[in-house]
């Protein structure tokens, strides 16, 4: 049986982040994930998790200016010291929150003449993060993001993700596989998950196109969830979609 997490950065946004833990619990979730938890202290989040008897499965290392349209943090050569500081902050949160995985967003490269340098910097930064997180029993994950929503993203396909995994070749580095993003890139998520389940540390989903709840796009979630359940993947599956309406009146497939 699949185990679902509520992504509190996108779901239940009708209320402030601190109140979303209770909302997730009320709607039957036993675990949550947060893209960037840093607006709250780690101790405040811990208190909410304990109060609602929830597990925090995942959060991201800070990505600097990525979401507003910048290159981000994890691949920019001039930002390596800033990246290390972001990892240190994630480690401090992780010691209190004890997630299963921590995600690193590769980011963009606007100057294509520097793409190889950005890709190498990203790999070097992944190695640094692994060394910091592995002693805590936490897997490092990274994800591909489609180039429609985020042009110039340096990792945007399954093949690129596998290339990075193979280059680093560390048991504590896994993929965060986002079904929406790979569907946007016209890939076949069900086939990939069934074939490479052992390389996936976390799965997220939203319907496509639109990135809304299941039933708003073209993905057959009954077939997809059945394929995930039949695969060797045993981790959590994150509901990371933008509800078309109030989160409470949306339904999973």
**Chain position carrying tokens 């993060």:** 129
Q: Are 195 and 186 in contact (CB under 8 A)?
A: no
Q: Is 143 a catalytic residue?
A: yes
CB 184 within 8 A of CB 149: yes
Active-site residue identified among 39, 78, 143, 187: 143
Alpha carbon 85 to its chain centroid, in Å, reads 20
Please spell the DSSP secondary structure of 72-128, one letter per residue.
-STT-GGGHHHHHHHHHHHHHHHHHH--SEEEE---B-S-GGGHHHHHHHHHHHHHH
Residue 240 catalytic?
Answer: yes
The one catalytic residue in 33, 48, 71, 240 is: 240
d(CA 197, CA 231) in angstroms, rounded, equals: 7
Query: Where in the sequence numbering do the catalytic residues fall?
Result: 143, 240
């Amino acid at each position: 049986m699949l185990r679902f997490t509520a992504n509190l950065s996108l779901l239940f946004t009708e209320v402030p982040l601190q109140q979303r833990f209770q909302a997730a619990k009320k709607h039957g979730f036993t675990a949550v994930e947060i893209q960037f938890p840093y607006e709250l202290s780690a101790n405040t989040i811990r208190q909410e998790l304990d109060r609602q008897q929830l597990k925090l499965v995942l959060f991201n290392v800070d990505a600097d200016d990525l979401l507003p349209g910048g290159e981000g943090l994890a691949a920019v050569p001039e930002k390596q010291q800033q990246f290390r500081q972001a990892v240190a902050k994630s480690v401090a949160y992780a010691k209190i929150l004890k997630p299963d995985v921590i995600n690193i967003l590769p980011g963009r490269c606007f100057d294509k003449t520097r793409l190889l340098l950005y890709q190498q910097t990203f790999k070097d930064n992944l190695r640094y993060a692994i060394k910091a997180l592995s002693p805590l029993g936490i897997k490092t994950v990274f994800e591909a993001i489609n180039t429609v929503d985020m042009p110039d993203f340096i990792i945007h396909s399954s093949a690129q993700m596998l290339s990075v995994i193979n280059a680093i070749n560390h048991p504590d580095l896994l993929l965060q596989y986002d079904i929406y993003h790979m569907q946007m890139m016209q890939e076949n998520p069900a086939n990939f998950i069934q074939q490479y389940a052992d390389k996936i540390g976390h799965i997220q989903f939203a319907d496509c196109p639109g990135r809304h709840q299941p039933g708003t796009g073209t993905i057959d979630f009954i077939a997809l969830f059945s394929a995930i359940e039949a695969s060797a993947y045993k981790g959590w599956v994150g509901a990371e979609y933008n509800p078309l309406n109030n989160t409470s009146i949306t339904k999973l497939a």
